[in-house]
A = this chain, B = another copy of it.
Amino acid sequence: MFPIGRLAKATGVKVPTIRYYEQIGLLPEPERTAGNQRLYTQGTLERLAFIRHARDLGFPLEAIRELLSLSDRPGQSCAAADEIARRQLAVVEARMARLAALRDALQRMLDHCASGTIADCRVIEVLGDHGLCAHDHGAAEAGHPA
């Protein structure tokens, strides 16, 4: 039985994130000390490590919720878990393809940059002119910092 800080250190998940996971029901409400502080067990540590690994692999929390509920019923078929992982793989591959296109477009912009004034700047030019870009009208692969 250890407090939240030790759990955080052991799993590499930050303290507020652990509380957030509890709030959204990914982690069970733990026991408390007389002074209302959370006390965790080894079981919860393992559950959180599972979540952490899955997050590292890019699974959204909803998929992790599903995987956890599967792993709580160990006698059943593996097919559902397999399917979730397969879907995640597809997501990752799609995102990679999209990024490869972006990288190439950026590289082309930079390759041809005259390093002169803004008026001749390929970067600005490509972004401003409809005809010069690769013109992929899928969803933007943007946002979301490291």
Indicate the member of A70, A82, A91, A126 with the most B CB atoms within 10 Å: A82
CB atoms of A94 and B55 under 8 A apart: no
CA distance A58 to B105 in the complex (A): 11
Q: What residues on B are CB-neighbors of A95 within 8 Å? A: 99, 146
CB atoms of B46 and A117 under 8 A apart: no
CB atoms of A56 and B140 under 8 A apart: yes
Q: What residues on B are CB-neighbors of A53 within 8 Å? A: 126-128, 130, 133
Secondary structure at the A interface, as helix, strand, loop or mixed, is: helix
CA distance A78 to B123 in the complex (A): 9
Q: A49-B128, A85-B109 are in contact. Are A60 and B142 (CB under 8 A)?
A: yes
Contact with B along A91-134 (1 / 0, CB 8 A): 11111100110110111011001111111110110111010010
Q: What residues on B are CB-neighbors of A117 within 8 Å? A: 74-78
Residue A79 at the B interface, CB < 8 A?
yes
Residue of B nearest to A120 (CB): B78
Q: Nearest 7 pairs between A and B by C-beta?
A: A78-B121, A74-B119, A89-B106, A81-B123, A144-B144, A139-B146, A85-B123
16 extra interface residue pairs, beta carbon distance < 8 Å, beyond A53-B128, A60-B142, A82-B113: A53-B127, A56-B136, A57-B105, A67-B123, A67-B124, A70-B124, A75-B119, A77-B116, A78-B123, A81-B123, A82-B115, A82-B123, A92-B102, A92-B106, A96-B96, A139-B146
